[in-house]
Structure 1
Amino acid sequence: MRVRILGIGMGPHHVTGEVAEALRGCDYAVAVRKGDDDGLFALRQEVCDAFGLPLVAVPDPERDRDDPADYPAAVADWHEARVAAFERVLGELGGTAAFLVWGDPSLYDSTLRIVARIAERGNVGVDYDVLPGISAPQVLAARHRIVLHEVGRPVHVTPARRLGEAVEAGQDNIVVMLGGRHGFEGLEDWSLWWGANLGADSEELVAGRVGEVLPEIGAARRRAREKAGWVMDTALLRRPE
C-alpha cells in the first residue's frame, strides 16, 4: 500500500496545491483522536471534508506527560504503541492512506518516524512519500513581519524544555517550540515575538521585551485555550546587544 505524509499547516487554508493534489488521490486519511472533544482531530476533519476524504480515527495510546527522567525512552515507548495502532488500521484498509501533519513533517513531529517504523517492521508492505507544509516558525515570522535571524546570523530551533540549555550554550537567537508549561523566566531583557495557535481562528500574538509582556502572554494563552480547547505556541527570542 501507499502512505502519503502531508504537511497541512493549520488547516484547509494552508494546504498547498501540491498537497491538495495528493489528497485527491488518497482513499482515506488516518489520525489519532484524544477523546470526543479533540479540537485538532476536528481540524483534520475539516481538511478531509474539504477534499471529500474519509478520516479514520485511531485511539491515541497513553503517554507519560509528567516530564519523566528518561524522556526519550518514554517518547519511544509511546511511538511504538502508535506504530502498532496505525499498523492495525493500515493492514485492515490497505489502499492509499494520508497522514495529515500539523505544520511541516520535518519539524517537531514524529509521523515520519512512525511510518518508517511501520515499513521497517514489515507486517504491512508500505511505500511512503512526504510533501511539505507551512510551519509554525514561518507563520510566526509572517505575522510579526520579521526575519527569523539577523543578516548572516544563525537561528537555533529548540523545544521549550531545552531552552535553558540553549541559552547556557551561548545561543542568542532562538526559535522556541512546544511551549507548554515552560516559560521565559530569567530572560527578562530579551526581545520576544510570540504566537499561539498560529493560523487558526484562536490565534494570539504578543511582541516586546520579555519582562514587560510575560503577563500578557499568560492571558493570551488562556484566551487561545478557551476558544480552541488547546494551545500550541511558538516564539522567537533574541538576546539584547
Structure 2
Amino acid sequence: MRIHLIGIGSGHPDHVTAQAVARLNEVEVFLVADKGEAVGDLAQIRTEILRRHVRGEYRVISVPDPERDRTPRDYGAAVADWHDARARAYEKVLLGLDADETVGFLVWGDPALYDSTIRVIERVRDFGTLDFDFDVTPGISSVAMLAAAHRLVLNRVGGPIVITTGRALPGDVLAGADNIVVMLDGGLACRELVGTGRWGIHWGANLGTDDEQLVAGPLDEVIGEIERVRAALKAQHGWVMDTYLLRSSAE
C-alpha cells in the first residue's frame, strides 16, 4: 500500500501546486476526517479541489473524527490520546482496503506546519498491522498566504521570526520574541497585549477562500475590528481559521 499526504493549501483550488495535482491523480482512495456538519463548508472546498484537479475515478471515505478534550489539564497527554484515537480510526479503514491501492490524505495548508497527519500516519505504521510507505507533498501554508495577502516580508533584515500558537504566545513574548506569527489561536491571545502600545498586527481569516478577511494596524486600535469580523465569520460558517503576525514597534 502507498499513502500520499498531500498539502492542498488554505482553501483556494488555484493554490494547489502542480506537484500536488500530480499526486492527487495517483490516488484511488481518499480518506478524509469527518468533523461534522458544523464545518460543512470545508468539505465543499475539499470536494471542489478534487473536482477541479482529479481526472480519473476515485473514492472518498469519510472517517468520523474522534472527540477531543478542548480544555484538558494535561494538554500534551490529551493531544497524544487524540492522535492515537485518530490513528486507530484510520487503521480500521485501511485494513479494509486492498493492499495494492494508493491512498491519499488531503492536508489543509502544509503537512509540516501545525498539522498532525504525519504523526498520525507514523503511529498507524508503528502499530505493525499494515505494510505501507508514505510520502509528503508540501502545500501553501496559511503563513505564506498571510504574508502575500498583506504584502509582507515576515522577517526583519537578518532577524528571526517565531511561529507559535495562541496557547504559547504569552511565554514567547516573555522570552523576548518581538516578531511572531500566531496560529491555532481560538481565543485571540493577543488581547492580553492590548494597552501596551507596543504591537502592530497583520491578521487574516479564511485565507484563500471567497470569505477572506484582512485587518492590519496598531493592535490597540484594531483589536475590536478583528473581534467583530472574526465573530461574524464564525456565526456565518460555524468555523473560522485565522493567522496573524505580531510585530513590536521597538527595534
**TM superposition score category, shorter chain reference:** over 0.9
Q: State yes or no: 1:48 paired with 2:54.
A: no
Which residue of the partner structure matches residue 34 of structure 2?
Answer: 33
Alpha-carbon offset, residue 240 of structure 1: 1.4
Residues 169, 189 of structure 2: 8 Å contact kept:
no
Q: State yes or no: 1:83 paired with 2:84.
A: no
Matched residue SS, 1:38? helix
For residues 104-183 of structure 1, what are the structure 2 equivalents within 5 Å? 104-183=110-189
May I ask how many residue pairs the two structures share in their alignment? Answer: 240
Distance 1:114 1:172, change over 3 A: same
Show CA shifts across 1:14-43 (max 9, x none): 110001011111102111112234332332
Give the partner amino acid of 1:197: N
Residues 2, 126 of structure 1: 8 Å contact kept:
yes
Which residue of the partner structure matches residue 8 of structure 1?
Answer: 8
- TM-score if structure 2 supplies the norm length? 0.92
Question: Take 1:226 and 1:53, find their aligned partners in 2: how far apart are those partners?
Answer: 34
Give the partner amino acid of 1:83: A
Matched residue SS, 2:37? coil
> 4+ runs of 1 displaced by more than 4 Å?
none
* RMSD between superposed Cα atoms in Å: 1.3
Question: Take 1:167 and 1:58, find their aligned partners in 2: how far apart are those partners?
Answer: 38
Structure 2 unaligned runs (5+)?
none
Residues 203, 224 of structure 1: 8 Å contact kept:
no
Matched residue SS, 1:158? strand
Matched residue SS, 2:73? coil
Give the partner amino acid of 1:81: A
Q: State yes or no: 1:211 paired with 2:220.
A: yes
Question: Take 1:36 and 1:220, find their aligned partners in 2: how far apart are those partners?
Answer: 22
Question: Take 2:27 and 2:118, find their aligned partners in 1: how far apart are those partners?
Answer: 18
Show CA shifts across 1:168-206 (max 9, x none): 000010000011013312423201000011111121100
Distance 1:223 1:13, change over 3 A: farther
Q: Which segment is superposed worse, 224-233 or 132-141? A: 224-233
Matched residue SS, 2:189? coil
Question: Take 2:183 and 2:58, find their aligned partners in 1: how far apart are those partners?
Answer: 30
Question: Take 1:162 and 1:237, find their aligned partners in 2: how far apart are those partners?
Answer: 14
Which residue of the partner structure matches residue 63 of structure 1?
Answer: 68
Distance 1:19 1:177, change over 3 A: same
Matched residue SS, 1:107? coil
Matched residue SS, 1:93? coil
Structure 1 unaligned runs (5+)?
none
- TM-score if structure 1 supplies the norm length? 0.95
Which of residues 74, 77, 87 is equivalent to 1:73? 77
Give the partner amino acid of 2:125: A
Question: Take 2:38 and 2:47, find their aligned partners in 1: how far apart are those partners?
Answer: 13
Question: Take 2:127 and 2:64, find their aligned partners in 1: how far apart are those partners?
Answer: 21
Alpha-carbon offset, residue 227 of structure 1: 3.6
Which residue of the partner structure matches residue 97 of structure 2?
Answer: 93
Question: Take 1:2 and 1:155, find their aligned partners in 2: how far apart are those partners?
Answer: 36
Q: Which segment is superposed worse, 85-94 or 162-171? A: 85-94
Question: Take 1:105 and 1:234, find their aligned partners in 2: how far apart are those partners?
Answer: 16
Show CA shifts across 1:76-128 (max 9, x none): 00110000000111111231111111100010000000111111111111110
Question: Take 1:229 and 1:64, find their aligned partners in 2: how far apart are those partners?
Answer: 19
